[in-house]
């Protein structure tokens, strides 16, 4: 469907259709190949294959999520969707080209959508990749699981803690398989570091340091005409209406790092962008995956002018009920350092980058794994000690979970708790005072001002509450 055509499915209509199990109309899905003959993929016949739709086809999708899926012969990307029709068409050509090369035959089996709700109505699609800006993660995941699709979603899990809770509840109720893109859980050094900490190789854990990259401020940017290929109103989604300028959204000429990552309207900056990875890895080692801190404090510098307004230099701290003290800052090496009574362990990605424009690619490479005593790193985890789940590749683990219907290595509730912890640090930055958190109630204690930060007003017709309350 071209971007200048009005959407055939309103959000309310979509909810009615998915709630009733109604299929997409013939007018929407007819005339496009949806099932590829078994002869094309040999032993991976359609009945054994997971058909996938990619929602959001920018930098992270092209460089990480779609390649993460198309490497497996039991999965087929059969549809792509983007609110920028140029990007959607480019993704179609990219995926068709990949499958043509894999099969050695001409291939034109990828369907293009510019409205994800229409993609979700296609009964032949089993699962979706959600590689959109942060503010669209929770709404799309909620819609997808209600449409009985399994989901791989980019982190952070949500724009706000309230949205994250609604999403985690919706996923649990649906029974669908949802993998959060916390791919450090599928990296050997992060799992091994967590096992070493959990099994007492550095004694009793006392302090965790989380080092994150930083983000620069920017200039004021002029209002620009909205490109005809972009549905900008829907791109804004639940967030307030603001004028279009290219650096607020994404580049029109390439797939470089988008400007929305530095706008608080759409995310919280590096505290969630990278914090969702490193704090998740810290929680894994701390055995606090399903809870959160009880005290949070700190401060940050925020730009005083310009389009890009996420935090700059910062240092925030937190205490957990188990007595562990966490310090999060962009003034130390990118990675996670665990300090115990008998030594320390440091773990990072080294020089690995998800995409070419990822901030880590511009930093000096740190060691993937280091310790106060080299003997710690040669320690063998015994058969009667704690062994954490093993995943060799994050997208592959998701596909395996879809088949087995067993929980993936980064389930929604865990991703929600990691994201929540990041947002608690962000709240401390904004209020510049100590906050007291109840991880069970997911509320600040006796602090109405802080509790206002748990949610944001949502713009119609994209409000998540319309999804959550639908029956």
- Give the tens place of pLDDT for each residue, 340-350: 999 999 999 98
pTM value? 0.89
In the block, residue with structure tokens 């490479």: 365
Contact criterion met (CB below 8 Å) for 297 and 306: no
What pLDDT is recorded for position 22? Answer: 42
What does the pLDDT average to over 26-45?
38
**Which pLDDT belongs to residue 37?**
37
Q: Please determine, for residue 129, whether its predicted confidence score (pLDDT) is greater than 50.
A: yes
Residue 244, pLDDT > 60, answer: yes
Query: What pLDDT is stored for residue 40 in this prediction?
Result: 42
Domains 50-184 and 186-381+413-470 share a fold: no
Q: Which residue has the higher pLDDT, 82 or 465?
A: 82
The C-alpha atoms of residue 439 and residue 270 are separated, in whole angstroms, by 23
15: confidence class by pLDDT, cuts 50, 70, 90: low
Q: Stretch 413-430: mean pLDDT, rounded?
A: 98
* Per-domain residue ranges of the chain: 50-184, 186-381+413-470
* Ranges 45-59, 189-203, 239-253, 256-270: which has the least confidence: 45-59
- R_g (Cα) of the chain, nearest Å: 22
pLDDT tens profile 400-410: 999 999 999 99
> What is the 8-class DSSP label of residue 117?
H
Residue 7 has pLDDT above 60, yes or no: no
Q: At residue 21, does pLDDT exceed 60?
A: no
Angle of helix 412-431 relative to helix 275-286, nearest 10 degrees, comes to 110
Least confident segment among 12-26, 109-123, 231-245, 290-304:
12-26
pLDDT confidence band for 289 (50 / 70 / 90) = very high
Model confidence at 464, pLDDT cuts 50, 70, 90, reads confident
Answer yes or no: CATH 3.40.50.720 is held by domain 50-184: yes
Give the per-residue pLDDT at 166.
97
Per-residue confidence (pLDDT) for residue 24, from 0 to 100: 33
pLDDT of res. 467: 44
> How high is the pLDDT of residue 30?
30
pLDDT at 25 over 50: no
CB-based contacts of 263, cutoff 8 Å, min separation 6: 248, 307, 308, 309, 310
- Per-residue model confidence as pLDDT tens digits over 43-60: 455 568 999 999 999 999
Top pLDDT among 253 and 467 is at 253
Is the predicted pLDDT of residue 5 greater than 90, yes or no?
no
Q: Over the chain, what is the mean pLDDT?
A: 90
In the three-class reduction of DSSP (H, G, I as helix; E, B as strand; rest coil), residue 337 is classed as strand
* pLDDT average, residue stretch 292-313: 96
pLDDT, tens digit, 9 for 90 and up, residues 189-202: 999 999 999 999 99
Using the predicted structure, report yes or no on whether residue 453 has a pLDDT greater than 60. Answer: yes
SS3 content of the chain, % helix, strand, coil (to 5): 40, 15, 45
How high is the pLDDT of residue 90?
98
CB 439, CB 296: distance < 8 Å: no
CATH code, residues 186-381+413-470: 3.30.360.10
pLDDT at 362: 47
- Among candidates 382, 327, 335, 388, which has minimal Cα distance to 201? 382
d(CA 140, CA 120): 10
pLDDT digits (tens, 9 = 90+) for 137-183: 999 999 999 999 999 999 999 999 999 999 999 999 999 999 999 99
The Cα–Cα gap between 121 and 128 comes to 12
pLDDT band at 456 (very low <50, low <70, confident <90, very high): very high
């Amino acid at each position: 469907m071209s971007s200048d055509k009005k959407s055939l499915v309103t959000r309310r209509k979509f909810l009615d259709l998915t709630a009733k199990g109604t299929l997409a109309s013939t007018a929407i899905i007819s005339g496009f190949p949806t099932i590829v003959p078994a002869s094309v993929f040999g032993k991976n016949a359609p009945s054994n294959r997971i058909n996938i739709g990619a929602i959001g086809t920018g930098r992270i999708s092209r460089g990480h999520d779609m390649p993460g899926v198309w490497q497996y012969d039991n999965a087929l990307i059969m549809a792509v969707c983007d609110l920028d029709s140029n990007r959607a068409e480019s993704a179609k050509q990219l995926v068709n080209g990949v499958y043509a090369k894999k099969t050695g035959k001409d291939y034109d089996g990828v369907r293009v959508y510019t409205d994800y709700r229409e993609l979700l109505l296609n009964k032949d699609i089993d699962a979706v990749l959600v590689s959109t800006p942060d503010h669209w993660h929770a709404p799309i995941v909620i819609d997808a699981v209600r449409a009985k699709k399994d989901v791989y979603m980019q982190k952070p899990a949500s724009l706000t803690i309230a949205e994250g809770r609604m999403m985690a509840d919706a996923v649990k109720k649906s029974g669908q398989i949802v993998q959060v893109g916390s791919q450090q859980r599928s990296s050997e050094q992060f799992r091994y570091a967590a096992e070493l900490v959990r099994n007492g190789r550095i004694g009793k854990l006392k302090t965790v340091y989380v080092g994150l990259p930083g983000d620069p401020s920017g200039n004021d940017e002029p209002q620009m005409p909205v490109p005809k290929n972009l549905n900008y109103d829907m791109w804004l989604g639940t967030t307030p209406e603001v004028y279009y300028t290219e650096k607020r959204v994404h580049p029109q000429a390439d797939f470089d790092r988008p400007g929305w990552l530095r706008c608080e309207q759409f995310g919280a900056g590096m505290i969630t962008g990278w914090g969702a990875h490193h704090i998740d890895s810290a929680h894994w080692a701390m055995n606090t995956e399903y809870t959160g801190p009880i005290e949070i404090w700190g401060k940050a510098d925020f730009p005083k002018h310009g389009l890009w307004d996420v935090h700059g230099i910062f240092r925030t701290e937190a205490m957990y009920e188990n007595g562990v003290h966490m310090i999060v800052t962009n003034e130390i090496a990118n990675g996670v350092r665990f300090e115990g009574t008998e030594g320390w362990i440091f773990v990072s990605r080294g020089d690995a980058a998800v995409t070419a424009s990822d901030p880590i690619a511009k930093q000096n490479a740190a060691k993937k794994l280091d310790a106060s005593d080299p003997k710690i790193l040669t320690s063998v985890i015994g058969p009667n000690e704690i062994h954490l789940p093993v995943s060799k590749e994050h997208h592959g683990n998701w596909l395996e979970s879809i088949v087995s219907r067993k929980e993936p290595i980064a389930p929604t509730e865990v991703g929600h708790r990691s994201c929540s912890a990041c947002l608690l640090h962000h709240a401390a930055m904004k209020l510049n005072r100590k906050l007291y958190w109840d991880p069970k109630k997911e509320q600040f204690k006796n602090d109405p001002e802080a509790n206002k930060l748990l949610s944001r007003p949502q713009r119609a017709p994209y409000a998540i509450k319309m999804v959550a309350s639908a029956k």
